[in-house]
A and B are shown apart, each in its own frame.
Chain A
């Protein structure tokens, strides 16, 4: 079972910026234990562009699809046997990243 694991940051109350080494170590463990599928940190939401090509021509808009205080700062994809395993890892990830984590199953 694969889960999308989102790291959520808060613009008005951001998590600490010194987490990189801890995250790297955590990633090593995820790989060693067979949970790791993919990981990536994201650039600021200001760098996002939304494209809507459902009409006659593509419309580009600057910024994320939804403006909010809380935003997606990075993602993992994990392979885990069930939600309990994913939630246990996510609880660790929240400490490691100093941020909230959302766990959402793939279909």
Chain B
């Protein structure tokens, strides 16, 4: 990637949500804001390639997107209403100060996560409007077709406009209920950052994980008593802490058992553990923990261990058992099976994993987990087939590299069944 391409990618990650949020506030329409922002970024790609970078890419994008939005409104007004045109021409809305723009991003999130929208629509819209992901990237994250995702987003925008879903912070009464929807969405954004998709994307997109953490911190400041907010923040911090050890120098993803634990971020771990202890105290006092608090506790067990052998797997499994009762999804069952493999061996775990075949056939982690269990059972040929399928489905460049190495290590190993061995 050239310097200009890198700068465009960087500007996109850093400025997208800011530009969309500011335009939505100014022009009162999410769809036009998104289109104007997208146009501005397209123009940036052309101009910056030809003329080099502007001194302040963020300001350049905001100004350009504003102009695009006004052009767009003028074009539309020429078609139907000359009167409105005059209003736009005389719009002297002052540019938003920086602090207010940060608030706009929260507004944007609450609008995208509005309860009158279907859950899938909230997630998709937040990733598009706040995360700035493309529709194909979002489609990949949710294992659906690009066209399906496009329709989902278009429909959600149309509903926001037609039903007049407001662009503002929810009232104090509504806040707790509105927050849990936002948390689900933020966790998905975090995950997209932690296991980024796309052939030209870095394996870990720190901008997205950092953005998800930043917004979760903000919501925690608003709702310090909410256990799930604390749980989600702890979970993100304990995962983020391992990021420095997660990608090798060659860009390959490093699995938990091979990570250099000395490279983990001790400060983030300490903060995450503090939050988990806070929630354990609440649980001891009779407050039932939600799924994020349990997931955070699982990650606290991992980050407390000096190495993989030191991990308290029975504690991990007990927490997964608790989690399965709250959320009987096949992905949780798959992760639970990994703990089962450590305690009861790969054969028992493989039996559990095989039962998930139908639900998770299109999920790369299902095939990667199977491949690893089959490898440990010495079933190289089946393991290789599972690695092949996982590589085919994995959208993360670092993960593809990791899976390819593991598969090729299988091939290097002599096969006991061959007569000349």
Contact = CB atoms under 8 A, between A and B. Distances in A.
Interface of A: 1, 81-84, 87, 103-105, 107
Contacts of A87: 116
B164 interface: yes
A87 B114 CA distance: 11
Most buried by B among A81, A82, A84, A105: A84
B220 to A, nearest CB: 24
Interface residues of B, number: 10
B163 A84 contact: no
A85 to B, nearest CB: 8
20 contacts: A1-B164, A81-B164, A81-B166, A82-B164, A82-B165, A82-B166, A83-B114, A83-B116, A83-B163, A83-B164, A83-B165, A84-B165, A84-B170, A84-B171, A84-B174, A87-B116, A103-B163, A104-B163, A105-B164, A107-B162
B385 to A, nearest CB: 50
B165 to A, nearest CB: 5
Q: Is the interface of B mostly helix, strand, loop or mixed?
A: loop
A101 to B, nearest CB: 13
Q: Which 7 A-B pairs give the minimum distances between C-beta atoms?
A: A82-B166, A105-B163, A82-B164, A83-B163, A83-B165, A1-B164, A84-B166
A83 B165 CA distance: 5
Contacts of B114: 83
Given A82-B166, A83-B163, A105-B162, 20 more contacts: A1-B164, A81-B164, A81-B166, A82-B164, A82-B165, A83-B114, A83-B116, A83-B164, A83-B165, A83-B166, A84-B165, A84-B166, A84-B170, A84-B171, A84-B174, A87-B116, A104-B163, A105-B163, A105-B164, A107-B162
Contacts of B164: 1, 81-83, 105
A77 to B, nearest CB: 15
A81 B165 CA distance: 10
Nearest to A85: B166
A1 to B, nearest CB: 5
Interface in B150-168: 162-166
Interface of B: 114, 116, 162-166, 170-171, 174
A84 to B, nearest CB: 5
Contacts of A104: 163
A87 B165 CA distance: 10
Nearest to A107: B162
Contacts of B170: 84
Nearest to A104: B163
A1 B28 CA distance: 15
A71 B162 CA distance: 24
A86 B29 CA distance: 19
Contacts of A82: 164-166
Contacts of B174: 84
A38 B171 CA distance: 27
Contacts of B116: 83, 87
A84 B164 CA distance: 9
Contacts of B171: 84
A40 B166 CA distance: 28
Contacts of A105: 162-164
A50 B170 CA distance: 43
Nearest to B115: A87
A87 B164 CA distance: 11
Nearest to B170: A84
A83 B170 CA distance: 12
A104 to B, nearest CB: 8
Contacts of A81: 164, 166
Contacts of A84: 165-166, 170-171, 174
A43 B114 CA distance: 35
B47 to A, nearest CB: 38
A2 to B, nearest CB: 10
A88 B165 CA distance: 13
